[in-house]
Amino acid sequence: MTSENKPTPAIVSKAESFVLDLFRKELSPEMHYHDTAHTTEVAEVAGQLADERQLEEDDREMLLLAAWLHDTGFTRSYDGHEEKSVEIARRFLTEHSYDNEKMARVLDLIRSTSYTAPTGTKLAELLHDADLSHMGRKRFFRKGELLRIELENIKKESWSELEWEEKQYEFLTRNDFLTKEAKEIFGPRRAKNIKKQRENILKARKVTTRKKTGKDFGRGIDTLYRSNYRNHINFSAIADGKANMMISINTILISVIVTLSGASLSVESFTVERFRYTIPILVLLLGSLCSVLFAVLSARPKVTEKKVDMSDVKEGKISLLYFGNFLGIPKNDFMAYLSKLKEDQQRLYDSMSIDLYNLGVVLKEKYRLLSISYNIFMTGLTVSVVAFIVIFIFTNATH
C-alpha cells in the first residue's frame, strides 16, 4: 500500500508486484534490513510525503516508482547496488513502454539514494526522507540491529557494543530530513531517538568498563590465576630442593672418592691388587661429577635479558610481567605498561596468561636438567656397583 488518499497508478502496481516477486526469488536470506519490509515501508512513506506535498500525478508516480525499485540492485550486488538497481529499473520500465523522459528522471532518483544529502530536486529530497524515515520512528533501534546482523553476515564486519552504539549515534546526528513534511512527521521522534541513543552509549560504556576492569569476570578467574602462580612457585621450590639434594649427595661422594683415592695413590707399591677396583671408582666418580653439574645447572639462577619489540607488547604478543622481558626496556616504559594494565583488565589477564606460560617454560627446563642429573646418578651408581661385583667375583674365583 503506497497511499490511502489517491489511487495507485497501474505502472506503480506493476512495479510493486515485480519487486515483491524479485525479492522473494532472488534476494539473499541474509538481507535482514534491505528486504521486502524496508522497501514496502519506503514506498509507503514516499506516498505519504507525496500527498503532504500535493505532488502532481506524474511526479507522484515517478517518486513511487523510484521508491519501489531503488533497492532491487541488492539482488545482484551489495556494493554499488544503486547502479544495479538502475539497470533493473531501466529494463522493467522499458518492457512496460514507459515514457523515456520520465524514465530518465526515475533512474536519476534511484541514483540519488547513494548520496547522503541529495539536493537539486524536490523528488530526490522526498525519496531521501522516505528512505531514512526509520530515523524518526520507534523501530529505529530494532532496524539498527537488523542492519548490524546484515553487515556482519554479508560484509563480515563486526563491532563491539560501544562501537555500534556510537556508529548509530553518528548516523542519527549526521543525517537529517530535508523536507519540511518529513521534519514535521518524523522530526520529533528523531530527536527522542538521538536522546535515547546517547543513553545507549552511556550504558555501553559502562558495560565496556566492567569488562575492562574485570568486574564481569568474577572471583573464579582471580582464583584460577592465583592458584596457578602458587603452583608454579611450589614446583620451582621442589625442583630447587631436589637439585640441592643431588648436589649434596654427589659432592659428598666425590669428596670421599677423591680422598680415598689420593690416600691409595700415596702407597709406594702399585700392584694389580690395589687397582682392581679402579674402574668402578672411576665410573662412580664421573657419574657423580656429571650428575652434580646438571643439578647445579638446574638450580643456578639465570637472568636472561633480551631485546623487546614494543610493537609486540602493544599487540599483546609479549608480556612485560615476566622478568626476563621487562629487564630489557627502560623503567618508564615498564611503568607506562603497568598503568595501561590497570585500565584494561582483559589485557591484564592476557599478560598474566603469557607470564604463566613463560614460567612454565622455565620450569620445564629446570625439570629437564634435574631429570638428566638423576638419570646420570642412577646409571653411574648402578654401573659402578655391577662392575664392583663382577670384579670382586672374578678376582676371588681366580684365587
Task: Identify the domain boundary among 167, 182, 213.
Answer: 213
With respect to residue 5, please indicate whether it lies within any of the assigned structural domains.
no
Percent of the chain with pLDDT over 70: 82
What is the CA angle 270-273-277, rounded to 5?
100
Asked which of 169, 191, 213 is the last residue of a domain, the reply is 213
Are 38 and 60 within one domain? yes
pTM of the full structure: 0.57
User: Number of structural domains, the chain?
Assistant: 2
Pair (52, 29) in one structural domain: yes
Residues 24 and 171 reside in one and the same domain: yes
Mean predicted confidence (pLDDT) in 173-187: 93
Average per-residue pLDDT for the chain: 84
Domain identity same for 182 and 318: no
| 346-351: Cβ within 8 A, 24+ apart | 346/211, 346/212, 346/214, 347/316, 348/214, 349/214, 349/217, 349/221, 349/225, 350/316, 350/319, 351/316, 351/319, 351/320, 351/321
Q: What is the pLDDT of residue 272?
A: 44
More confident residue, 308 or 171: 171
Domain boundary among 213, 232, 247: 213
pLDDT at 1: 39
At 358 the pLDDT is 81
Q: How distant, in Å, are the alpha carbons of 139, 181, 189, 215 from that of 178?
A: 20, 9, 15, 45
Q: Write out 52-115 in H/E/C secondary structure.
A: HHCCCHHHHHHHHHHHHHCCHHHHCCCCCHHHHHHHHHHHHHHHCCCCHHHHHHHHHHHHHCCC
Q: Rounded distance, CA 18 to CA 82, Å?
A: 17
- Cβ(177)–Cβ(145) below 8 Å: no
Q: Is 34 in the same domain as 107?
A: yes
Query: Nearest Cα to 372, choosing from 254, 246, 253?
Result: 246
Residue 4 domain flag: no
Is 293 in the same domain as 179? no
- pLDDT, position 236: 86
Lowest mean pLDDT among 49-53, 289-293, 339-343, 367-371: 339-343
pLDDT, tens digit, for every residue of 344-376? 777 787 888 888 888 888 889 899 999 999 999
- Residue 27 resides in a domain: yes
Q: Phi first, then psi: give them for residue 344, nearest 5 degrees.
A: -130, 100
**Does 324 reside within a domain?**
yes
Shared-domain flag, residues 207 and 223:
no
Residues 134 and 258 in one domain: no
CATH number at residue 151: 1.10.3210.10
Give the model's pLDDT for residue 270: 44
Do 182 and 224 share a domain, yes or no?
no
What is residue 4's predicted lDDT score, i.e. its pLDDT?
A: 47
Residue 1 placed within a domain: no
Position 115, amino acid? Y
Largest CA distance in the chain: 135
Q: Does the residue 75 lie in any domain?
A: yes
Range of the domain at 24: 10-213
Looking at the structure, do residues 235 and 343 belong to the same domain, yes or no?
Answer: yes
Residues 194 and 227 occupy one common structural domain: no
Tens-place pLDDT, residues 242-268: 889 989 988 898 888 888 766 555 544
337/364 same-domain check: yes
Residue 335 lies in a domain: yes
Q: How confident is the model at residue 323 (pLDDT cuts 50, 70, 90)?
A: low
Distance, CA of 299 to CA of 311 (rounded, Å): 34
Least confident residue range of 101-110, 218-227, 284-293: 218-227
Q: Is residue 187 in a domain?
A: yes
The Cα 138–Cα 239 span in angstroms is: 66
Distance, CA of 66 to CA of 71 (rounded, Å): 9
Round to whole Å and give the CA distance between 70 and 37: 14
What pLDDT is attached to residue 271? 45
Q: Name the nearest CA neighbour of 149 among 25, 34, 69.
A: 34
